[in-house]
A = this chain, B = another copy of it.
């Protein structure tokens, strides 16, 4: 008889491009999202948690008649009775599910419908350093409000949100632009050919990267990029390209000056004038609520994703400098962006529904808060009650229960207590502020030893051998005083 084949041990690994989050990584993100949710709630937005799984049909980008539609999304086919069910997929953002939810539940939802959503999304892309295939998004959108008052509201809310999570006024700037102004510029240029229009749009999208001179070259004959490769240009004459450059560089010393420049750039185009009017109205609405251009400003150089949006677009930037991995100072950059998109629900219902919204880059904002010391830093490990005498476990448990009932984070050491050094190493690894020690002698006398590990760590860094020997970081107190003495250490008052 053949031996049964021995199964090899499975590998203990996350799939490529996925990762786990531990301890403070989880709780700090949760705390930040809770603060954001509180602001959104105050603005009248309602929480929505849609299912992580959607039909590929509803997600829309991918068609079920492709044999394996897994480009960009994680998708699989349901096994129904005929063996050929719907294609399902993990959501790749929170906007496509919003469109599906709104179309499905529109009769039960208020109009306008303000909602926020927070949660993981999944992308079936090649993972890279710092690039994961599962990450958090945090969105707020208003569906069914055609007025730019809805866009202005989102900008104001974004400013409040950044301040709420810990970015002080002056350290951020929300820049607002309008896709209609750009359309006006294209119209004023007299571009008729759609291919050429698209080429101009793609070039404008590169403004952030290549700057004014680069855009000028790319609109004209072309440009050598950093690698030395030559990128063909759109082929416009310098005169033809001028309105685009006027548009991109029309930021003035204040909103009024910028608006005047933009009005000039769009010339006679009606759509462009409409866009400028909208920007003017947004600025007025925000001024009336106290959001001046020091916080929210009209800035035509905001070009990201212009192709996707149909009206106002906005982007939040952190303006303070951080030190990058090579030790050079650089601006932190964008942490949120959004705008108006009016065609999303139409796919389902045939009716256009106006919508506008913002998405916060959760990981980037959290990184900014960490980089500036506004999140994290101090350890908040538990107090560890060590085990000197295994038979006394009930007493140790009673001690730790006392600490917890006083609201102090605490635990009994539950590993093998034989080697006491291991218990202190464990406390160290846990970032414990204090260890409580009691053996038969202490129990007899109704006292405990308390080791101040915060002070101990400070002494370890600076003390001489003699100072070490005095061990001032360890002291004795009565069992009844234990809670208060430990609390003093935890609160940094020892």
Residues on A facing B (Cβ under 8 Å):
9-16, 18-23, 25-27, 30, 34, 37, 41-44, 46-55, 57-58, 60, 68, 70, 74-76, 78-79, 86, 88, 100-101, 103-105, 110-112, 114, 120, 122, 133-134, 142, 144-147, 149-150, 152-153, 156, 160, 284-285, 287-290, 347-350, 382, 393-395, 397-398, 400-401, 404, 407-412, 414-416, 426, 429-430
Contacts and interface: CB of A to CB of B under 8 A. Distances in A.
A156 B410 CA distance: 14
B88 A79 contact: no
Contact of A9 (B30, B152, B347): B347
Nearest to A102: B12
Contact of A47 (B14, B27, B134, B288): B27
Given A9-B347, A285-B394, A412-B153, A22 B51 contact: no
Nearest to A402: B289
A384 to B, nearest CB: 8
A14 B110 contact: no
A42 B409 contact: yes
B145 A414 contact: yes
A23 B116 CA distance: 9
B19 A46 contact: no
A86 B49 CA distance: 30
A53 B122 contact: yes
Given A404-B43, A407-B42, A48 B22 contact: yes
24 contacts: A9-B349, A11-B57, A12-B348, A12-B349, A13-B55, A13-B58, A20-B51, A21-B48, A22-B105, A23-B48, A27-B47, A42-B410, A43-B404, A43-B411, A44-B382, A44-B409, A44-B430, A68-B79, A110-B426, A152-B397, A153-B414, A285-B394, A289-B394, A289-B401
Contacts of A429: 110
Given A27-B47, A76-B70, A414 B149 contact: yes
Contacts of A47: 21-23, 25-27, 30
Contacts of A414: 112, 142, 145, 147, 149-150, 153
Given A104-B14, A397-B288, A44 B153 contact: no
Nearest to A111: B415
A31 to B, nearest CB: 10
A401 to B, nearest CB: 4
B12 A54 contact: no
Contacts of A401: 156, 289-290
A103 B11 CA distance: 9
Copies in the complex: 2
A53 B18 contact: yes
Secondary structure call for the A interface:
mixed
A8 B288 CA distance: 46
A408 B43 CA distance: 9
A122 B89 CA distance: 13
A395 B408 CA distance: 49
A309 to B, nearest CB: 18
Contacts of A430: 44, 110
B9 A348 contact: yes
Given A15-B53, A49-B26, A75-B76, A288 B395 contact: yes
Given A19-B51, A22-B47, A58 B27 contact: no
A18 B395 CA distance: 49
A32 B288 CA distance: 39
Contacts of A18: 51, 53
Contact of A149 (B70, B382, B393, B409): B393
Contact of A11 (B22, B52, B55, B415): B55
A290 B133 CA distance: 47
A100 B12 contact: yes
A120 to B, nearest CB: 6
A387 B15 CA distance: 53
A409 B134 CA distance: 33
